[in-house]
Amino acid sequence: MRGRMMEMPLLVSSLIEHAGAVYGDRPVVSRSVEGPVVRSTWREVRDRSRRLAGALQNRGIGRADRLATLAWNTQRHLEVYYGASGMGAVCHTLNPRLHPGELAYIMDHAQDRVLFVDITFLPLAEALADRVPVETWVVLTDDEHMPATTLPDAVSYEALLAEYDGEWTWPALDEYDAASLCYTSGTTGDPKGVLYSHRSTVLHAWGVSLPDVFMLGTGETILPIVPQFHANAWGIPYAAALTGAKLVQPGPRLDPAGLTELLTAEEVTCCAGVPSVFLPLVAAWRKAGSAPPSLKRVLIGGSAPPQSLIEALEGEFGIEFFHGWGMTEMSPLGSVNRLTPAMRARPVAERARFQTKQGRAPFGVEMRIVDRDGGELPRDGQAFGELQVRGPWVAAGYFRDDAEIVTDDGWFPTGDVATIDPAGYMQVTDRTKDLIKSGGEWISSIDVENTAMGHPSVAMAAVIGIPDDKWGERPLLVAVAAEGADADSDAVLAFLGEHMASWQVPDRVEWLDALPMGGSGKVQKNLLRERFGG
Ligand code: ADP
């Protein structure tokens, strides 16, 4: 017997309509690419998204067309999210930090018809113009700031909006229709397109709004430092609309001074980003002697945050730290570590160690760990194996790619190796490809990196396995010295020896000025392996 309730599809347009109707006056504040901070509201974002959809339709854009963006976190980019997906097209965010060759491949694979580009990335778009199928070039600015460009028939975003002044009504789409597209940066093989649906987007937005994740609501102000081109800024642009949170967007200014200024002026309560953004931010706050006073909590994920960062946030600045884990294929939220009240009562160092765990699955994600034969492993906090997930916001396949990516029994293998403890807290010990096997024993590169970054002279650390005749593999520590500190390998190795078994301690340290970082802010260990013979 079926229930007798309405069948209403979960659509991205319903999020912006809700925000406009119910939280119309709540602010949306963005640092613009042109410079000034622009103040708007959810009502205005709704109205402008509608106009964008109408203007695009008039220009012949229709259902399922791919509309790409090469843009910072700004109001106009937000409007493209809603306008494009809402009209039934697919909002395809491009990562401007990728190599132009990779971008050309992705745009051709996606068959993007439109590109919305920030002024900052205009030279990049011009260099790509002959290699991609784009027909309509939209520069995310107004006519006054429109630069000279070689892009054919380029139009400013504001001029495009002005092309429509009708009464727009969003189409009634199927909730399983595609809404947005994001390619994973994949360190091996070609990039793969993750194609989110309206349904997965709305459910994920609901999930990340909950108290144990971003804790959003009308009393909150959230600033996603994580870019909109990285797994839709972890769903924050949707979740803020769903809950009526004030949304603050940093635009192109991601330096500590720019971020601190905006966090303070806009009284931001919650922000989110990768560890490599928070390390310099915390260093700047330490130098200044304070953090933005309104900031209550931060969610950090994307790669493993060092324990020293957690201790600094919680111990020095009294900011609650939430550790998140996820993947582009998971929209991206997979787990969050929010402490139980009992845990929170423990001393900072003790609970910070626990907070290096990636945390528990929210409703909407199921997890298991399996051995090499696919047999499920116990949740005892000790056994480790490949982490597999499933749920309504997990990818079932890639865009224009027939490869099977889920197991026969319906789970997505993440490529991460993890433990799960009896309380359900998952801990990533490594990427499958980064684990080091030395003398038959596994060494977690994340563990060694985390410990190394606890030494005051180490600003950044990456550990890779180097072939070794005797042991099979041995760990090599590649490090960047902290500002003003000596690159003293012996001191760092001795420090590691105090914290881990001797066979886990790397044999030597290679010091670099900087680690090679990929487009999504992760260390490119493949490049380190090439360089150091891993
Ligand atoms: P890519 O797979 O292209 O690097 P993603 O952003 O999808 O891009 O990265 C997902 C991967 O990032 C995860 O599979 C995991 O290895 C790593 N990751 C994400 N969050 C964390 C975290 N909190 N701790 C450790 N690793 C993480």
> What would the pLDDT profile of 397-443 be if each residue is shown by its tens digit?
999 999 999 999 999 999 999 999 999 999 999 888 888 888 777 88
- Could you tell me the two tokens for 183? 């390619």
Cβ contacts of 3 within 8 Å, gap of 6 or more: none
- Could you tell me the two tokens for 461? 């650390």
User: How much is the pLDDT for 433?
Assistant: 81
User: How much is the pLDDT for 190?
Assistant: 82
Place of tokens 């990636």: 358
Q: From the CA of 187, how far away is ligand 1's center (Å)?
A: 11
Q: Is 35 left (phi over 0), alpha (psi -120 to 50) or beta?
A: left
Give residue 327's pLDDT band: very low, low, confident or very high (50, 70, 90). Answer: very high
Q: Is the dihedral of CA 384, 385, 386, 390 positive or negative?
A: negative
Check whether 362 has a pLDDT greater than 70: yes
Percent of the chain whose predicted confidence (pLDDT) is above 70: 99
What is the average pLDDT value for the chain, to the nearest integer? 95
* d(C-alpha 138, C-alpha 68), whole Å: 10
Check whether 354 has a pLDDT greater than 80: yes
Residue of the CA atom closest to atom 9 of ligand 1: 327
* d(C-alpha 166, C-alpha 420), whole Å: 54
User: How much is the pLDDT for 235?
Assistant: 98
User: How much is the pLDDT for 528?
Assistant: 93
**Ligand 1 in contact with 138 (CB < 6 A)?**
no
Give the number of residues written for the chain: 534
DSSP assigned state of 361: P
User: How much is the pLDDT for 499?
Assistant: 87
How many other CB atoms are found less than 10 A from the CB of residue 503? 12
User: How much is the pLDDT for 522?
Assistant: 82
* Residues assigned a catalytic role: 184, 329, 437, 442
**Ligand 1 in contact with 414 (CB < 6 A)?**
yes
How many other CB atoms are found less than 10 A from the CB of residue 437? 12
**Ligand 1 in contact with 427 (CB < 6 A)?**
no
Cβ contacts of 264 within 8 Å, gap of 6 or more: 292, 293, 294
Give residue 188's pLDDT band: very low, low, confident or very high (50, 70, 90). Answer: low
* d(C-alpha 129, C-alpha 115), whole Å: 10
**Ligand 1 in contact with 433 (CB < 6 A)?**
no
Reported as a single tens digit per residue, the pLDDT across 435-485 is 888 877 788 898 899 889 999 999 999 999 998 888 888 999 999 999 888
Residue of the CA atom closest to atom 13 of ligand 1: 327
pTM (2 d.p.): 0.91
Reported as a single tens digit per residue, the pLDDT across 104-151 is 999 999 999 999 999 999 999 999 999 999 999 999 999 999 999 999
**Ligand 1 in contact with 431 (CB < 6 A)?**
yes
Ligand 1 mutation target, pool 232, 298, 307, 325, most atoms within 8 A of CB:
325
- Per-residue burial over 320-340, b = 16 or more CB atoms within 10 Å of its CB, e = otherwise: bbbbbbbbbbbbbbbbbbbbe
Give residue 534's pLDDT band: very low, low, confident or very high (50, 70, 90). Answer: low
User: How much is the pLDDT for 186?
Assistant: 57
Specify the ligand 1 atom closest to the Cα of 231: 6
Q: From the CA of 325, how far away is ligand 1's center (Å)?
A: 7
Q: From the CA of 163, how far away is ligand 1's center (Å)?
A: 41
Percent of the chain whose predicted confidence (pLDDT) is above 90: 85
Specify the ligand 1 atom closest to the Cα of 328: 7
pLDDT average, residue stretch 216-236? 97
Cα dist from 212 to 247, 314, 453, whole Å: 19, 17, 27
Specify the ligand 1 atom closest to the Cα of 329: 7
**Angle formed by the axes of helices 489-499 and 445-452, nearest 10°:** 120
User: How much is the pLDDT for 127?
Assistant: 97
Check whether 252 has a pLDDT greater than 80: yes
* d(C-alpha 353, C-alpha 404), whole Å: 37
- Could you tell me the two tokens for 307? 């324990």
**Ligand 1 in contact with 186 (CB < 6 A)?**
yes
* d(C-alpha 366, C-alpha 88), whole Å: 29
* d(C-alpha 294, C-alpha 218), whole Å: 15
**Ligand 1 in contact with 522 (CB < 6 A)?**
yes
Reported as a single tens digit per residue, the pLDDT across 266-288 is 999 999 999 889 999 999 999 99
- Phi and psi (nearest 5°) for 468? -140, 130
DSSP assigned state of 225: -
Check whether 486 has a pLDDT greater than 70: yes
Specify the ligand 1 atom closest to the Cα of 187: 3
